Structure 1
């Protein structure tokens, strides 16, 4: 069976590893009987990533490269790659070699069996602290409980998508993007392949705990209204507690009287109610902020430069396509 394959590789400051990654990826593609294309998306790197990607495009006719006008973030870089890719199957993979390119033939085999999305699920995970593993596992399990869209556990962005799955992704133009959730939201037959995740080959991870926390908030607020519901129930609980406490104070005064006392209790009640209100306002503010960002309808990205032969599907290659 003859088919075309595109591999989308978002990259940000990956100069230390991009050469090794491409060598391994090229070896895998050499063994696949398909018309292959590799699309590197440089997300505004400040190191030598872009010159190295340009050199790869000059040496290997299968390589195409996009450079975004600034650092828009990995989610936007992946979107730019998916907008550009025109193939029967598209693989999304990071350049840090934690996700092995050698797994691609197995993803293709599952796709040929009829699945539209084949995602790689992490089994063993090298090079990560216990805290990182625990917080990652906890996030996926919390999302599983909160979201109406089933989100695969322990699964990153490494996956294969069929042409119709890519077309579906192109139709999702929201600004607050949580790609793992969007991949799951489109539906279609999906399956997983479990693999051993290696430690990062070189360089430093771009995902510190601050960025990971923001990504978790993005995912929860993008695919669940549970925080709003929790804020509502917190408000109801606080109001109920205040009402019952008010009844207790009234009966206590009627039965035993009440000299001027109770300052600590009064402060506790005031702080509790104030804290509950601020928490609820904070949750509501998160959703309002996201609504504000969507209402502005700014483009998701702008492309500064292109190198290599790019074959675009329809109008999907437009910079910052709506």
Structure 2
């Protein structure tokens, strides 16, 4: 019989864990596969950590991987993939925004020959209008900037075949934008549309500042275009400056040198300073990621690992 592991990254989700585990267990029971669950505790508080240990102790088909601290969701997902066994691996969050019942459709598509089967959101219920609009705009911007065809309106909710998992495990980078890496590895991929529900309980850990940094991570990880834009913008400003200099020389020779306008001078200086700072900021983002990669630190450390007993 084929085997399937469901990897669930968790960070302070104690309120929703019982309901989530119940729905996930029911969904796995309907499948003709040997399924198990691996929870990844990404440095949760004591209440959530205790609940995860209870689930692992009470259920033979539940494993628990505890990281040494909170490393972030992208690293928690990577850790889960490193420790997950089975012919296929499903990634899903514990907040019940992604329906566990859709895993059955994922398995069907996987058996049809697809290595990556992802859930594609047709509607995002519970999100504010600003969050829906900004998320949609980001996915479309990333699609235009990136050399890799990254599907739009797609999260981590997906199924990965064993060879797709092994391909992801072989990637060494520490700045990990997983949605881009899923697309970068290639292999046959297909989307399954679904409606994303509001959180069943608790609050999202993704505030707008973290989402902004996450967007920067995605853009700098899969596109060199910002660096090229900085270069082209510098060339364009230099060209305009040269032409304006020629204009001022000709004007002075023909009409003399009247009293220069102070406001226009301030505007030009501030504009050029802003362009320079923006270009330095773009280069700094890429330089910071190069610096991090060059240190070669471990992606994460594991405090405990209890594999499923089945």
Fold conserved between structures, TM > 0.5: yes
1:52 and 2:37 correspond: no
1:292 and 2:288 correspond: no
Deviations 1:45-90 (A, max 9, x none): 1241111111011111000001110000000000010000111010
SS in structure 2 at match of 1:48: helix
Given that 1:84 and 1:310 are in contact with CA atoms closer than 8 Å, whether structure 2 keeps it comes out as no
Structure 1: how far apart are the matches of 2:231 and 2:158?
A: 37
Task: Name the structure 1 match of 2:196.
Answer: 197
Task: Name the structure 2 match of 1:319.
Answer: none
Deviations 1:100-127 (A, max 9, x none): 0000000000000000000000012110
Tell me, which stretches of 5 or more residues in structure 1 are unaligned?
A: 312-322
Structure 2: how far apart are the matches of 1:117 and 1:231?
A: 35
Given that 2:36 and 2:308 are in contact with CA atoms closer than 8 Å, whether structure 1 keeps it comes out as no
SS in structure 2 at match of 1:277: helix
Structure 1 residue 262: Cα displacement: 2.2
Structure 2: how far apart are the matches of 1:72 and 1:115?
A: 30
Structure 1 residue 158: Cα displacement: 0.2
Structure 1 residue 307: Cα displacement: 2.7
Structure 1: how far apart are the matches of 2:55 and 2:269?
A: 64
Deviations 1:269-299 (A, max 9, x none): 2111111111111100000000000000111
Given that 1:54 and 1:307 are in contact with CA atoms closer than 8 Å, whether structure 2 keeps it comes out as no
Given that 2:122 and 2:196 are in contact with CA atoms closer than 8 Å, whether structure 1 keeps it comes out as yes
**Structure 1 runs of 4+ off > 6 angstroms?**
none
SS in structure 1 at match of 2:305: strand
Comparing 177-186 with 269-278, greater Cα deviation is found at 269-278
TM-score (norm 2): 0.98
Deviations 1:155-186 (A, max 9, x none): 00000000000000000120111000000000
Comparing 270-279 with 67-76, greater Cα deviation is found at 270-279
1:124-135 matches, cutoff 5 A? 124-135=123-134
Task: Name the structure 2 match of 1:249.
Answer: 248
Structure 2: how far apart are the matches of 1:116 and 1:310?
A: 27
Structure 2: how far apart are the matches of 1:191 and 1:47?
A: 39
Structure 1 residue 308: Cα displacement: 4.3
Task: Name the structure 2 match of 1:173.
Answer: 172
Structure 2: how far apart are the matches of 1:51 and 1:171?
A: 32
TM-score (norm 1): 0.94
Q: 1:135 to 1:310 in 2, by over 3 A?
A: farther
Tell me, which stretches of 5 or more residues in structure 2 are unaligned?
A: none
- How many equivalent pairs are there? 310
Structure 1 residue 309: Cα displacement: 3.1
Structure 2: how far apart are the matches of 1:231 and 1:49?
A: 45
Given that 2:38 and 2:307 are in contact with CA atoms closer than 8 Å, whether structure 1 keeps it comes out as no
RMSD: 1.1
